Amino acid sequence: MSNLIVSFDPGASLTKIVYELATEGKPHLMTMEPEMLKLPQSSIDAYMSSRKGLESPKPADEAWVSSPANGDTQCTVVGFLARQFSASARLDKLKYETSIHKALAVIGAIAQHNKLPNRFSLSLTSLLPYGEYQNRQAFEQQLQSALKDFRFRGQRLRVKLEKFECLPEGAGLAMIRQRQNGKEWFNAQTIAVLMFGHRNTSLLLFERGKMTAGYTNGLGFHQMVKRVIERTSGQDATALTSASMQPVQISRLITKQFAL
């Protein structure tokens, strides 16, 4: 059994995580803001030297990662700290492309918060829109390579990815129906699942217990937020996103619980 089990949704409105330590056997919930930003190491050093003595944020709220072993002189700042630097959620990029550094930040934050050793094993489940589901092998390969040797807030971590599973967004809802009604019922049905996300909307079709089709478009909640800002004054995208994401957050958290 892996030392750490993580179910991870790198959402465009909020990164949602359910994790379990092998030594505890109970789930924990963690969230991180979706913003990301690349900065030179010197900027992080200047930030750290300017911190006041009273400040002692949690690792998840002061997260940055780097890969100095690959000659990388830059850091990727993730989450709440990136928001302080006015970073963006990078909706212009594919979700799996931005998820590598988010995953490193999540794993690093969990490791530091729970005082895990510098080396440990990991089982990870992640979600991608159906339109990116075909990239799951590339996602796994890049993630496995990145986890082997990286730094989180200056601490070197070497993580062995023992197990990786990638599910299309919405699959967990179908899994819930299967658990509620049994496999025999599920295998006799045709079920369509609609997943309304902040970045996009996906449709999954299950026939006789098998996912036979899927579709993803760009009509996510961020389009609504953008239009509200364009047509009204004094609105803030962060506040509007927080208000619009609540039902999506709940459904995705359910998805991750059953993905574990």
**pLDDT at res. 97:** 84
**pLDDT at res. 255:** 41
For the residues 61-84, what does the mean pLDDT come to?
83
**pLDDT at res. 70:** 55
Contact 19, 110 (CB under 8 A): yes
Between residues 93 and 20, the one the model is more confident about: 20
Between residues 12 and 147, the one the model is more confident about: 147
Q: With a cut of 60, say whether residue 63 has pLDDT above it.
A: yes
**pLDDT at res. 258:** 38
Please give the DSSP secondary-structure letter assigned to residue 88.
B
Amino acid code (one letter) for 71: G
Between residues 254 and 173, the one the model is more confident about: 173
pLDDT band at 239 (very low <50, low <70, confident <90, very high): low
pLDDT band at 248 (very low <50, low <70, confident <90, very high): very low
**pLDDT at res. 199:** 76
Reported residue count of the chain is 260
Which residue, among 3, 4, 34, has the nearest Cα to 16 in the 3D structure? 34
pLDDT digits (tens, 9 = 90+) for 99-133: 999 999 999 999 999 999 999 999 999 988 888 88
